Amino acid sequence: MTCNIFAVLVIVQEKRRGSYYSSIAKLFASDSTNQAATNAVQIFGGAGFNTEYPVEKLMRDAKIFQIYEGTSQAFLLFKIFFQDLSATQKEIQATALKFAREEILPVAAKYDESGDFPWVIVKKAHSLGLMNPQIPEQYGGPGMSSLETALIVEALSYGCTGVQLAIMGPSLGLAPVYIAGNEEQKMKYLGWLASEPILASYCVTEPGAGSDVSGVRTKAEKKGDEYVINGQKAWVTGGGYAKWFFTLARSDPNPKAPAGKAFTAFIIDGDTPGIVRDTRTITFEDVRVPASNVLGKPGEGFKVAMSAFDMTRPGVAAGAVGLSWRALDEAAKYALERKTFGTEIANHQAVQFMLADMAVNLELSRLATYRAAYDVDRQVRSSYFASIAKCFAADTANQAATNAVQIFGGNGFNSEYPVEKLMRDAKIYQIYEGTSQIQRIVIARMLLGYFQQNQTTRGI
**In terms of Cα–Cα distance, which of 168, 177, 160, 237 is closest to 202?**
237
Q: Distance between CA 334 and CA 78 in Å, rounded?
A: 18
Secondary element (H or E) of residue 183: helix 183-185
Of 148, 363, 420, 433, which is the active-site residue? 433
Q: Note the Cα 140 to chain centre separation in Å.
A: 26
End-to-end alpha carbon distance in the chain: 14
**Are 299 and 261 in contact, with CB atoms under 8 Å apart?**
yes
Q: How many CA atoms lie less than 13 Å away from 441 in the CB half-sphere?
A: 7
Single-letter code of the amino acid located at 231: G
In sequence order, which residues have a C-beta less than 8 Å from that of residue 305 and are 6 or more positions away? 176, 204, 213, 246, 248, 263, 265
- Let me know if 204 is exposed, middle or buried by CB neighbors in 10 A (0-12, 13-18, 19+): buried
Q: Note the Cα 345 to chain centre separation in Å.
A: 32
Please report, to the nearest 10 degrees, the dihedral formed by the alpha carbons of residues 325, 328, 334, 339 taken in order: -170
Q: Distance between CA 173 and CA 391 in Å, rounded?
A: 21
**Are 249 and 214 in contact, with CB atoms under 8 Å apart?**
no
Q: How far is CA 415 from CA 111, 366, 400, in A?
A: 13, 28, 18
Please give the angle made by the CA atoms of 432, 154 and 280, to the nearest 5 degrees: 30
Coil/strand/helix, residue 251? coil
In sequence order, which residues have a C-beta less than 8 Å from that of residue 218 and are 6 or more positions away? 206, 229, 230, 231, 232, 233, 247, 248, 249, 250, 284
**Are 200 and 246 in contact, with CB atoms under 8 Å apart?**
yes
**Are 247 and 229 in contact, with CB atoms under 8 Å apart?**
yes
Please report, to the nearest 10 degrees, the dihedral formed by the alpha carbons of residues 370, 373, 377, 383 taken in order: 130
Coil/strand/helix, residue 283? strand
Residue 102 known to be catalytic: no
**Catalytically annotated residues:** 433
